Amino acid sequence: MVLKAAKVVDVAVTRTARHCLAVGLLLLNTVCQAAILPEDRADAMYHSYDGGGIEITGPSILVRKQIGDSFSVYGTHYVDTISSASIDVIATASPYAEERTENSIGVDYLRDKVTMSLAYTNSEENDFHAKSLHLGVSQEIFGGMTTVSLGYSRGWDDVGTLGNPETFDTDRHNYRLGLSQVLTKDLIMEIGLETITDEGERLNNPYRQVRYLTSATTFDFQDEVYPNTRTSNAVSLRAKYFLPYRAALHGEYRWFDDTWGITAQNFEIGYTQPLKDNWTFDVKVRSYKQNEADFYSDLFPFQDAQNFLARDKEMSSFSTLTVGAGVSYEFGKGNLGFIDKGSLNFSINHIEFEYDNFRDVTAGGTPGSEPLYRFDADVVQFFISLWY
């Protein structure tokens, strides 16, 4: 087997890091609270991910400004510098390094009790170009006790491989429905529904390969083959309960399934505690578990064993456990000239990945009996926010 230089991106890894960033900075704004525009602010953040042989680092900047009483505009700039020597790379390719740049612009429009949002995002790598358009509308009803929100996103991806001018198009559609309800003076709950449809010739990573037996003690690799369509559905339930001593509890449950046979669930519970007038501390625990796709196998019995073939470990059966903590310090109220106030924020999340049917081929041994793969990762972010 000849090793080739290739990019094999760990999808779950980048998704984890980018999700943490989005939560921290609200980079892509979907309005959850109607009838009020976001405050004028600027954020600058540095984030890092380190785990499973993959390192992702980079800065991010968000600037938002209100125009009149009805409009709020924002822009973001986000950079990922990725270096990878993950198990996939070590097994079938050479380590690589690359950079991804993402830019977004958006506007929110407020009219009476209705908020409408529009955003455009452009993301570029050396062999991947993604564009997406985001639309949203939300409205308060029943005296502000209930908020109903609708959202739609359309994505256009151009997927290629290094050294090959041919690219493949992928179309993505995302439909969202949310309902937020104030149940008591201390309890807020929200339910969300989401459907995503993907269509394209390369819904898999074009560099990734499956392995198959060539004898009782040897195996070889061939390219993955995925279906050209995928539809997924998710239901989430979130709640926040405010405690009498200024603290708050929050919880989330999310259920997911798709037409590829994957079913997943995650649970999260967290606690927020302000101290004095300037400090806020957060802790959380999150668990996630999924089963494998219908066409996944760690080791196929022979070449072209079936129509569709997958060995991406994120298509396997696996679970994660995340423990996170954060601290925020607010400063400068009324003492920074045109700056109203500022905050310094730091958070760290430790994630444990456990795979049930993906094996570490680098450990050696009889094919199919290698140890199951596992690894830990840390996601760190530090950012400063200024309101003006």
DSSP code per residue over 216-265 = SS-EEEEE-B--SEEEEEEEEEEEEEE-TTS-EEEEEEEEEEETTS-EEE
Closest CA to 379 of 263, 266, 284: 284
Q: Report residues of the chain scoring pLDDT below 70.
A: 1-35
- Do 35 and 115 contact (CB within 8 A), yes or no? yes
* Sequence ranges of the domains in the chain: 4-387
Residue 23 pLDDT: 40
The architecture (CATH level 2) of 4-387 comes to Beta Barrel (2.40)
| Category of 351 on φ-ψ map: left (φ > 0), alpha (ψ -120 to 50) or beta | beta
Residue 145 pLDDT: 93
C-alpha 83/C-alpha 277 separation (Å) is 41
pLDDT 10s digits, 202-222? 898 888 899 999 999 999 999
C-alpha 172/C-alpha 30 separation (Å) is 18
C-alpha 120/C-alpha 74 separation (Å) is 11
C-alpha 258/C-alpha 196 separation (Å) is 9
List all residues 6 or more positions away from 2 whose beta carbon is below 8 Å from its beta carbon: none
Q: Considering the entire predicted model, what is its pTM?
A: 0.87
Work out whether strand 263-275 and strand 279-290 pair parallel, antiparallel, or are unpaired: antiparallel
With vertex at residue 279, the alpha carbon angle to CA 273 and CA 282, rounded to the nearest 5 degrees, is 40
- Do 110 and 36 contact (CB within 8 A), yes or no? yes
Secondary structure class of 336 (helix, strand, coil)? strand
Burial class (CB in 10 A: 0-12, 13-18, 19+), 1: exposed
